[in-house]
Amino acid sequence: MDMVKVKINGREYEVPANSTVLEAAKYAGIEIPTLCYLKDINEIGACRLCLVEVTGARGLVTACVYPVNDGMEIFTNTPKVLAARKTNLELVLSNHEKKCLSCPRSTSCELQTLANEYGCDAGYFEGESVHYPLDTSTAFLVRDNNKCILCRRCVAACKNMQGIGVIGANDRGFDTHIGHPYEVSLAETSCVSCGQCIVACPVGALYEKDDTQKVLDAIADPTKHVAICAAPSVRATIGECFGNEPGTDVEGKMVAAMKRLGFDGVYDMNLTADLTIMEEAHEFLERFQNGGKLPLITSCSPGWVKYCEHYFPDMTENLSSCKSPQQMFGALYKTFYAQKHGIDPKDIFFVSCIPCTAKKFEVRRDGQCAAGEGIYDVDVAITTRELARMIEKAGIQFNKLADEKFDQPFDIGSGAGAIFGATGGVMEAALRTAAEVVLGKKLEKLEFDDVRGTAPIKRATYKLGDVEIKVAVASGTKNAKELLTKVQNGEEKVDFIEIMACPGGCVNGGGQPLHTAAERAEYDLRALRAAVLYNADAKMDLRKSHDNSAVKALYDEFFGEPGSHKAHEILHTTYVKRGL
């Protein structure tokens, strides 16, 4: 790597030659404040918070876009710099609704933190302001433009990262605001509900719809049987809400906290991840061996499913008909469990805790009422952040809890189910089962390394006996578009595809714990969180979905076999060709 010498605040450093001033300062251990900056996604110098002095430059420069050169001298904390940053913060605050006490981002708001650090007078530039109505049109998100600071991070996440671009800056000057074409509501656009705009937002302008009160009301209702299941990736991330380092596995504490909230049953979604593999692997082999529609594309990510319906409607026939593990669990609970325990499905309130805002949309999709019309498989889907808020509100001291285990009979999940939360995990889990079915013998090596990792698109070819299977994995809808366009055009032949809407998979979902731009630049959150799941898998004795005794019992007692008529009635669904 080519290096150059620069001086920062009087000290000399060697930094990579292609650095910006912001990156060079970080390399030297100096944090320059930002609001609009998101590494590799939004580098536009719009908020003017990263101003620094550079010898020879005309005036102050924006560190996030200003390149270094050999011999450059940089000053990051002169009186002139600090005064300019404070003024710019106060200008931002002048048109910002400052209802911090009731804001869902209070104490985790990047603007609030900087305003405190710089001793800002929130009313210094008080004057005319514009009031905007809230956009509450979708099932998963609230847009509050009264708190928007026009940093455009949400716009960049939607367009540059996800390749969708349903939001942007409307009007000009003082009237500029983030909205949609022709000022339609978000629900009227082809938004896929991924929630990446929420995790990109530095303030409280975007947040998920909070369904926690619905859950608390159900728990308080003596006529309701209230159960919850947790997705694989939640145990890898919820600890971050309580001060743990990214990459900390807190499964036992999460279970203990859920039980203290008063649920009648606390279960592991890894079980229905295994059930999904049984159905999906059977579906793949059925299509592959009998000339069915290929490539088969996984259907666990509801954001991806909605993207497919909008942007690749002709490929909805390629989607696996399997419900997601979330929906399978609710369907299983309100049929098999309800019958076994003599509970009327109408009296069951089933909750899922998930890393995904699109799951809030999924719970009310058509074809999600296995127990009868109007009895939805899942009543409420809450995000990792919502569960953390419930725990805090209940006064539960998360980090002091002793580990507890999931409740029976749905406490058994395999390592294959555990890795569902990482991109490539569903593919690897399916291959473990499909390979043993095809080969008729146990695999010597269970790791399918070619589909692991956070690369945007991964491809591999596996020879299973005399059978050659071509697979591909994509995460992030922009990358999905690239892959599927090649498949549609005949440039690429693939038999089996896994797609997740969020880059890196569920571990990087729109409902996961929030981090500042600086933290997101410092940590590879996707890799750290995914490592928790792969480490859990590696330590397990049970690592294949088809070896799960609980899943075997479900087929013996209830479903019969994978792909049976009853399995299709309860565990499978249909799709809609939405178009744009």
Question: Are 483 and 359 contained in the same domain?
Answer: yes
Question: Are 243 and 158 contained in the same domain?
Answer: no
Task: Please state at what angle helix 477-488 crosses helix 302-311, rounded to 10 degrees.
Answer: 50
Question: Are 145 and 125 contained in the same domain?
Answer: yes
Question: Are 537 and 563 contained in the same domain?
Answer: yes
Q: Residue 8 and residue 76: Cα distance in Å, rounded?
A: 7
Per the CB < 8 A criterion, the answer to whether 396 and 387 are in contact is no
Per-residue pLDDT tens over the stretch 431-486 = 999 999 888 999 999 999 999 999 999 999 998 888 899 999 999 999 999 999 99
How many CB atoms are closer than 10 A to CB 376?
A: 20
Question: Are 53 and 98 contained in the same domain?
Answer: no
Q: Residue 299 and residue 312: Cα distance in Å, rounded?
A: 14
Q: What are the contacts of 445-452 at 24+ separation with CB within 8 A?
A: 446/415, 446/543, 446/544, 448/424, 451/424, 451/427, 451/498, 452/422, 452/424, 452/428, 452/534
CA angle, residues 269, 275, 278, in degrees to nearest 5 = 150
- Lookup: tokens for 168: 């942007």
538-to-222, 247, 448, 565 alpha-carbon distances in Å: 41, 16, 13, 35
Which residues fall within 8 angstroms of residue 99, CB to CB, at 6 or more apart? none
Is 87 a member of any domain? no
- Lookup: tokens for 13: 């450093």
Is 88 a member of any domain? no
* Residue where a domain stops, chosen among 208, 240, 261: 208
Which pLDDT value is given to residue 129?
84
CATH code for position 106:
3.30.70.20
Question: Are 379 and 357 contained in the same domain?
Answer: yes
Which pLDDT value is given to residue 205?
98
Question: Are 231 and 363 contained in the same domain?
Answer: yes
pTM over 0.85: yes
Is 479 a member of any domain? yes
pLDDT, averaged per 10 consecutive residues of the chain (580 residues), comes to 94 95 95 96 96 94 96 96 98 94 95 97 88 96 97 98 97 94 96 97 98 98 98 97 97 98 98 96 93 95 97 97 98 97 98 97 96 97 98 98 96 95 96 91 94 96 90 98 97 97 97 95 95 96 96 97 97 93
Is 178 a member of any domain? yes
* Residue where a domain stops, chosen among 173, 208, 243: 208
| Residue (of 485, 424, 478, 432) closest to 451 by Cα position | 424
Question: Are 291 and 331 contained in the same domain?
Answer: yes
Question: Are 180 and 289 contained in the same domain?
Answer: no
Question: Are 45 and 131 contained in the same domain?
Answer: no
- Lookup: tokens for 143: 């847009």
Per the CB < 8 A criterion, the answer to whether 513 and 520 are in contact is no
Q: Please state the domain count of the chain.
A: 3
Is 576 a member of any domain? no
Is 83 a member of any domain? no
Question: Are 119 and 190 contained in the same domain?
Answer: yes
Is 531 a member of any domain? yes
Question: Are 363 and 409 contained in the same domain?
Answer: yes
* Residue where a domain stops, chosen among 208, 241, 267: 208
Is 254 a member of any domain? yes
Per-residue pLDDT tens over the stretch 312-342 = 999 999 999 999 999 999 999 999 999 999 9
Which pLDDT value is given to residue 141?
97
Per the CB < 8 A criterion, the answer to whether 501 and 301 are in contact is yes
| Residue (of 271, 275, 542, 286) closest to 437 by Cα position | 286
Longest alpha-carbon distance in the chain:
80
Q: Residue 545 and residue 552: Cα distance in Å, rounded?
A: 9
Strand bridging mode 496-500 / 296-297: parallel
Strand bridging mode 11-16 / 380-383: unpaired
Q: Residue 356 and residue 266: Cα distance in Å, rounded?
A: 19
CATH code for position 482:
3.40.50.1780
- Lookup: tokens for 561: 């076999």
The residue segments making up the domain with residue 221 are: 213-571
